[in-house]
Structure 1
Amino acid sequence: MKMILTGTGTSHGIPVIGCDCRVCRSEDSRDMRLRCSAYIEMPAGILVDVGPEFRIQALKYKIRNVSAVFITHSHADHLHGIDDLRVFSHTKALDPANPGNTETEGSGLAIYTNTKSEQDIRHRFDYIFTPVTEGGGKPKIRIMSAEGITADQPLCINGVEVVPVMLKHGHLDDMGFLFSERQESGEKHSIAYLTDCSFVPENSIELVRRNAGILDHLVIDGLREKPHSTHFSFEQALEAAEKMNPRNVYLTHITHNMSHVQIQKFVKDILWKFPGLKKSAENGFYVGPAYDGLVLEC
């Protein structure tokens, strides 16, 4: 299983429009952050979130196949590239009963999310669901509930098991996802993707610990050094991360207050507070900021 972090920036991205701060003017490519998104490569072809830069991300990271989309929540920076799913929903979502018949379209690309996000999608993008007599200028999608997917009954997409992980994003209910794959040895290896959160409930932590097998990678929201009402700070993210016993930890949804190098140093300086993560780092695993284009493999 291979995940590409196609975006690791907060809602405004980095560089920020009109900003001349040192991070926004940085020549370090790791400081240039598109809006948060991730992609699990073929054969899975799983996309997590479809923000306003999705077209750029798809071209940059050569995304040629999308089997399913998972929407964490309906904020614009995670959703408003939905129209660019057109090419995948029409040319890739073919009739499963007649896969060789490229003239026959299936029922559309599956998008999994929660009830609140489905309501928002149908309201903001009502044209997608309005019948037209001619033209094909809209994506062909099916919104599917992710709320019925459980650890006991995970969704399996091309060999990858997917289980939602309930999170709190301020007062908003949103979800992360646990992606798992059994290797030839029989061991289960997993990646937990938990962006946009200010609280991970204990039952969600337990879900990850109980079902991840070997948690190779944890990608978790870490906005900035200072606390925020709807996002983890770096320290809060590490506190939550340690409870899930990951090998590697990557902070995502990062703003422009600190550079990649500065965040690395900040994390290193406070790792003594988190003995489990400190031990992982001493054993050669990574604990620190993510960056666009980072590839995570199990």
Structure 2
Amino acid sequence: MKMVLLGTGTSHGVPVIGCDCKVCRSLDARDNRLRCSAYLSEPAKVLVDVGPEFRIQALRYKVKGVDAVLLSHSHADHLHGIDDLRIFSHSKAYDPHNKGAGETKGEGLPVYSHRAVIEDIRHRFSYIFGEVRQGGGKPKVNTIATEGYDVDNPIRIGGVEILPVLLKHGYLDDSGWIFREKAGDGHKSIVYLTDLNSIPDASVDRIKAFAGRIEHLIIDGLRVLPHSTHFSFEQALEVAERLAPRNAYLTHITHNLFHYQVQEFVDAIISRYPCLDSAKRNGGYVGPAFDGMELVC
């Protein structure tokens, strides 16, 4: 599997509009963070979240195909680039209101999330699901609720098995995602968990039951101080320790610290987390993610 992190910043992005702090003025490319998103390019083309900068991300990181979209939740920084899925959905659907346009028959680009997110999409982007008058293109999507998928019945897309994981983002339900493929007699995985301030024990058990060997864990870590809807760095590392990945990356990072300072913070406390400390000593990565980071397993 191969994944690129399209964005690793918080909802404002970094630099923040109107901010003149040192991080927002940083010349280190790792401190310039677009809104959170990821793109699995092999063995299938799967987009995780589609924020307002998706067009920029797709051009910057050469996203040339999307087989399916996974949505964590419906906050603007994870959803409001949905219209830019148009170019990827044209070959996935047939518009009954535009017969003879030469489009391939199909239900549309699959967009997976839990029912509350799908209801939000249909309400906030109602034009997508109605008849189009002359002009005014729109994405052609097929929204699919994920409540029926479980360890024995994952989503299957082009050689990769995908399972949603319940997370809590304040009072909201949020979906994390496990990407799994066969590795010898077992499995290896990439686990992507963003926008959470707690994870139910049942979700940790679900990850352990399905993931096999976790090569890469990408997990929400906003800042040093606690937050009402996001993990702090230490809270993220605590969950990472329970999952024991080979590599762990903090994402959804705000502009309080430079990239190198986040790494220094992690290095200063990693001895508290024996599994992560061991992974790092054996060549693994434990620290902040950055835009454009490529993960291979």
- Give TM-score scaled by structure 1 length: 0.95
What corresponds to 2:52 in structure 1? 52
Q: Relative to structure 2, which stretch is displaced further, 200-209 or 60-69?
A: 200-209
Q: Which amino acid aligns with 2:260?
A: V
Runs of at least 4 residues off by over 4 Å = 92-95
Cα RMSD for the two superposed structures:
1.5
Structure 1 gap segments, 5+ residues each: 96-101
Structure 2 gap segments, 5+ residues each: 96-101
1:94 is displaced (CA, Å) by: 7.4
Q: Which amino acid aligns with 1:30?
A: R
Cα contact 1:90–1:105 (8 A) shared by 2? no
Q: Which amino acid aligns with 1:68?
A: A
What corresponds to 1:64 in structure 2? 64
Cα contact 1:267–1:287 (8 A) shared by 2? yes
What corresponds to 2:24 in structure 1? 24
Q: Which amino acid aligns with 2:137?
A: G
Secondary structure at the counterpart of residue 150 of structure 2: coil
- Corresponding residue pairs, total: 292
1:60-99 to structure 2, matched below 5 A, reads 60-93=60-93
What corresponds to 1:251 in structure 2? 250
In 2, the alpha carbon distance for the partners of 1:179 and 1:43 equals 10
In 1, the alpha carbon distance for the partners of 2:93 and 2:160 equals 18
Q: Which amino acid aligns with 2:231?
A: F
Corresponding position: 1:230 with 2:229: yes
In 2, the alpha carbon distance for the partners of 1:257 and 1:286 equals 22
Q: Relative to structure 2, which stretch is displaced further, 146-155 or 252-261?
A: 146-155
Secondary structure at the counterpart of residue 267 of structure 2: helix
Question: 1:66-104: per-residue Cα shift (whole Å, max 9, x none)?
Answer: 000000000000000000000011135579xxxxxx643
Secondary structure at the counterpart of residue 250 of structure 2: strand
Corresponding position: 1:196 with 2:195: yes
In 2, the alpha carbon distance for the partners of 1:46 and 1:94 equals 21
What corresponds to 1:160 in structure 2? 160
Corresponding position: 1:217 with 2:182: no
Q: Which amino acid aligns with 1:191?
A: I
Q: Which amino acid aligns with 2:250?
A: L
Cα contact 1:223–1:254 (8 A) shared by 2? yes
Query: Quick one: structure 1 residues 9 and 66, their matched pair in 2 at CA, closer, same or farther if it must change by over 3 Å?
Result: same
1:207 is displaced (CA, Å) by: 1.2
- Give TM-score scaled by structure 2 length: 0.95
What corresponds to 1:271 in structure 2? 270
What corresponds to 1:240 in structure 2? 239
Q: Which amino acid aligns with 1:47?
A: L
